[in-house]
Amino acid sequence: MAPMEENVVVSKLEKLFSMKGGKGEASYANNSQAQAIHAKSMIHFLRETLDNVKLVGGDGDKAFVIADLGCSCGSNTINVVNVIINHIIKRYEALGCNPPEFSAFFSDLPSNDFNTLFQLLPPLATYGVSMEECLANDNQRSYFAAGVPGSFYRRLFPTKSVDVFHSAFSLHWLSKIPESVLDKRSIAYNKGKVFIHGASEATANAYKRQFKADLAGFLSARSVEMKREGSMFLVCLGRTSVDPTEQGGAGVLFGTHFQDAWDDLVLEGLISSTKRDNFNIPVYAPSLQDFKEVVEENGSFVINKLEVFKGGSPLVLNKPDDADEVGRALANSCRTVCGVLVDAHIGDKLSEELFLRVERRAANRAKELLEKLQFYHIVASLSFSQ
């Protein structure tokens, strides 16, 4: 088989990155309720995207293929696949056709905890069970499932093979930290900081360029893989400010108590300042304009919808007045998404120390934190230009 891409360089980050796996206190499976709530509030946008899919076949002809990119290891991805299938079935029924079979691909980086995800999947319905019975029963799966390991910034699927691409809360993760941000001789060197919130313009612009290059790679790969009749629904963290050093909710999450906790480790002599400066969170929350420019430069897709949506807080709390709970929730929320990177950079023991400090600092400023911590999302619905 001829290679599909030449000189593929898998970054160190893409080899190691994942949300925290398993089912422990800081695991993604136990810390993704906020994403579930935000996804629910955007479900009408998803349904609109699904209405843009041009239905063909039906009557059991060819499988309808769905791919969730950046699926992680919690139940959100399974819920979204169910929503997509239910909606497409309704559309087939409205046309008076029997729906086709469904195939769902759960895709993420190779270090994602696919085992935990697969254990959450209900068993495939037995042969002969109707789609209606299957959908009415949460304990049965109405589609064929498979895991696809790899970076969504490159090819993952055969040409023209996917009807619906979905990706939620993932595209703000960069494929790597730009070299200049780690280079002491560069003006983009992120001295004293672990994120771009409040960093220099040069550092933030290096991140912006990386985001745009990554998104461009994502769109070119999907433009080959999506069927002409297909549609794509994308949601990622975004920001309302034009200034990239103002990272909104992501800035509060990674640029305040998390940053201060790294500074604590330096001041307490537990790590050197260079060790801190060499750690950077590979997240860029784009503005609407950043996102739009890349889609337009790619030129393959029509924008059916592109907007910034207020998602709300990333913390789900039983008692918002309980400062200790707020502190713990912020530390867990941070740890579930970047704990794997912190562990790899300073080891498990110091990582534990770091997140203890995040927790304490967040508890001390709980009220102010809850007021400021709001996530905005970029929501995009794309299909092919005809």
Ligand X SMILES: C[S@@+](CC[C@H](N)C(=O)[O-])C[C@H]1O[C@@H](n2cnc3c(N)ncnc32)[C@H](O)[C@@H]1O
Q: Which residues of the chain form contacts with ligand X (CB under 6 A)?
A: 14, 17-19, 32, 35, 39, 70-72, 74, 76-77, 108-109, 112, 151-153, 168-170, 173, 175, 337
3-state helix, strand, coil in the chain (%, to 5): 45, 15, 40
Minimal distance in Å, beta carbon 56 to ligand X?
27
| Cα separation, 127 vs 138, whole angstroms | 17
Please say whether the beta carbons of 243 and 287 come within 8 A: no
Number of Cβ within 10 Å of residue 368's Cβ equals: 12
- Please tell me whether residue 262 adopts helix, strand or coil conformation: helix
First vs last C-alpha separation in the chain:
31
- What token pair was written down for 241? 């400010």
Q: Which is nearer to ligand X, 343 or 353 (CB)?
A: 343
Tell me the C-alpha distance between 39 and 33, whole Å: 10
Contact by Cβ (8 Å): 277, 181: no
Distance CA 270, CA 272 (A): 7
**Residue appearing with tokens 């907007």:** 307
CA 44 to each of CA 7, 10, 83, 85, 134: distance values in angstroms, whole numbers, following the listed order: 40, 36, 11, 15, 24
